[in-house]
């Protein structure tokens, strides 16, 4: 099977340049750095021990920040190379580590042998770490060919993903068997990884329970913060198609009880902004784009967030968050968004019935009383009214419990990594 994968990747090689160029024109790639995906590397590889960590997108990028902080303080580690795929993750990591002397961000090259070899030959990592569910066969083969230790950390395999790999079980066992260690994020993933041929598996819990001490640009503008003090505020984050309408209808119902209600809409994909505005136009709500706000008008109903990495700013000033990708039945096998960031900000979390991707996380948070399932906009409205009437503040004790739980997970992961940095 790997032979055919490799063969097809060779066939794609001539078209890859045009493919990336088109994505650049569509503003889906970094205008100045997209060539990194064809392994054009301008940064010198310094001497010493280099740990390479790969993440896919924003969520994974944010989850590794505490891990990177701990590794950065390790004197045995000279360089930490972080690679990612998506434009948004690249922007966040680039901004975060601009002034770091030890940490470098690069975009991962396409999984084509020529680019893979060029990338690995240049960086020659001493340890490679993949986060979450990133599997690139050519890259994995290239790593093991060079006898570089390969770890999968916070490994997450959904039911949907497992079904796909099951169609190519021998290939899956060949690929996953090349990992020296897999640290699963939950029990379900642990079981799936065993079925896929991983030999060395550990499960400490989801690394996303850990919280970074870095607090970069996660505060709202002072004028906006002051404006919001006089409003009843709630957030709807990581929303998917149909869920913005779900939340807007909830807003209309809440408005009957609270004339000063304000809804913060944070869609999962900001390229849908225009579609969202069009979809909500018939409701006669005043919608303001977050990027356009200087002073918030009192009659604004919804702030529509149109840039990435802003959610935490609003979690800080709101006690209540609805998390999306949880009301859409068609996504039942791949549903839910990570509830850990708003929970660590002390927010009460509301969600729909479909959260299969994060069952363990929701189970733990539910035991702390910080999550509630709602089936429709009526239930969400009633739940929010109940919370508004109780006028509860953020529960600091719950936040501390989550933080301690996360620290235990992080310590266990670090101890496993140290085994490979000692060699």
Residue 309, sorted as left (phi over 0), alpha (psi -120 to 50) or beta, turns out to be: left
* Known active-site residue 190: no
Task: Quickly tell me which residue has 């790997």 as its tokens.
Answer: 2
Model confidence pLDDT, tens digit, residues 81-127: 999 998 888 888 888 888 888 999 999 999 999 999 999 999 999 99
> Where are the domains positioned within the chain?
2-6+25-203, 222-402
Q: Is the pLDDT of residue 333 over 70?
A: no
At 332 the pLDDT is: 67
Instruction: Place 211 in a pLDDT band, splitting at 50, 70 and 90.
Output: confident
- Whole-angstrom Cα distance, residue 180 to residue 201? 9
At 188 the pLDDT is: 87
Sign of the C-alpha dihedral computed for residues 86, 91, 94 and 95 taken in this order? negative
* Average pLDDT for 319-341: 86
- Whole-angstrom Cα distance, residue 170 to residue 66? 36
79-84 and 50-54 beta bridge pairing:
parallel
- Whole-angstrom Cα distance, residue 45 to residue 68? 19
* Average pLDDT for 376-392: 92
- Whole-angstrom Cα distance, residue 423 to residue 420? 6
Which 3 state secondary structure label does DSSP give 267? strand
Q: What is the chain's mean pLDDT, rounded?
A: 90
pTM for the model:
0.80
At 60 the pLDDT is: 86
- Are 2-6+25-203 and 222-402 the same fold in CATH? yes
At 275 the pLDDT is: 95
Is residue 326 a contact partner of residue 354, using CB atoms and an 8 Å limit?
yes
Of the candidates 60, 134, 188, 341, the residue annotated as catalytic is 60
HSE toward the beta carbon, residue 342, CA cutoff 13 A: 31
Helix axis angle for 169-176 and 2-25, nearest 10°, is 80
Q: Which helix (H) or strand (E) holds 137?
A: helix 137-145
At 212 the pLDDT is: 62
302-304 and 320-323 beta bridge pairing:
unpaired
- Whole-angstrom Cα distance, residue 212 to residue 191? 29
Q: What is the DSSP string of 216-244?
A: TT-S--HHHHHHHTTSEEEEEEEE-TTHH
CATH architecture of 222-402: 3-Layer(aba) Sandwich (3.40)
Is residue 369 a contact partner of residue 350, using CB atoms and an 8 Å limit?
no
Q: Is the pLDDT of residue 215 over 50?
A: no
At 423 the pLDDT is: 63
Q: Is the pLDDT of residue 5 over 50?
A: yes
φ/ψ of residue 201, rounded to 5: -120, 135
* Average pLDDT for 338-365: 90
Token readout for 76 is 């045995």
* Average pLDDT for 375-383: 95
Q: Is the pLDDT of residue 216 over 60?
A: no
Candidates 3.30.1540.20, 3.50.50.60, 3.60.15.10, 3.40.50.11720; CATH matching 2-6+25-203: 3.40.50.11720
At 221 the pLDDT is: 82
Model confidence pLDDT, tens digit, residues 28-72: 888 889 899 999 999 999 999 999 999 988 778 888 999 999 999
Q: Which helix (H) or strand (E) holds 144?
A: helix 137-145
At 277 the pLDDT is: 96
């Amino acid at each position: 099977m790997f032979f055919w994968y490799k063969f097809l990747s060779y066939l794609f090689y001539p078209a890859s340049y045009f493919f990336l160029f088109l994505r650049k024109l569509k503003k889906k790639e970094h205008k100045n750095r997209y060539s990194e995906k064809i392994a054009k590397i301008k940064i010198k590889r310094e001497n010493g021990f280099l740990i390479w960590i790969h993440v896919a997108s924003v969520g994974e990028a944010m989850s590794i920040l505490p891990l990177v902080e701990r590794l950065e303080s390790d004197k045995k580690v000279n360089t930490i190379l972080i690679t990612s795929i998506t434009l948004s993750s690249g922007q966040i990591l680039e901004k975060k580590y601009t002034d770091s002397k030890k940490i470098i961000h690069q975009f991962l090259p396409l999984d084509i042998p020529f680019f893979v070899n060029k990338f690995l030959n240049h960086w020659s990592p001493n340890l490679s770490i993949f986060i979450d569910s990133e599997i690139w066969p050519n890259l994995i083969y290239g790593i093991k060919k060079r006898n570089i230790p390969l770890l999968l950390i916070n490994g997450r395999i959904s039911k949907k993903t497992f079904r796909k790999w099951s169609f190519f079980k021998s290939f899956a066992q060949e690929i996953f068997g090349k990992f020296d260690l897999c640290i699963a994020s939950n029990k379900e993933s642990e079981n799936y990884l065993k079925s896929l041929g991983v030999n060395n598996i550990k499960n400490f819990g989801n690394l996303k329970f850990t919280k970074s001490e870095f607090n970069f640009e996660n505060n709202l503008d002072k004028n906006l913060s002051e404006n919001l003090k006089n409003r009843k505020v709630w957030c709807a984050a990581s929303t998917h198609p149909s869920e913005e309408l779900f939340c807007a209808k909830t807003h209309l119902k809440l408005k009957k009880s609270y004339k000063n209600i304000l809804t913060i809409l944070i869609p999962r994909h900001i390229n849908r902004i225009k579609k969202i505005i069009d979809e909500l136009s018939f409701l006669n709500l005043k919608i303001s784009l977050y990027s356009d706000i200087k002073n918030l008008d009192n009659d604004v109903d919804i702030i529509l967030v149109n840039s990435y990495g802003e959610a935490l700013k609003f979690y800080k000033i709101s006690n209540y968050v609805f998390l999306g990708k949880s009301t859409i039945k068609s996504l039942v096998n791949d549903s839910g968004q990570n509830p850990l960031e708003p929970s660590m900000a002390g927010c009460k979390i509301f969600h729909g019935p479909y959260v299969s991707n994060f069952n363990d996380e929701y189970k733990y948070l539910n035991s702390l009383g910080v999550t509630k399932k709602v089936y429709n906009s009526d239930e969400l409205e009633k739940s929010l009214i109940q919370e508004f009437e109780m006028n509860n503040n953020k529960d600091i004790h719950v936040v501390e419990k989550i933080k301690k739980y996360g620290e235990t997970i992080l310590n266990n992961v670090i101890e496993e990594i140290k085994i490979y940095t000692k060699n």
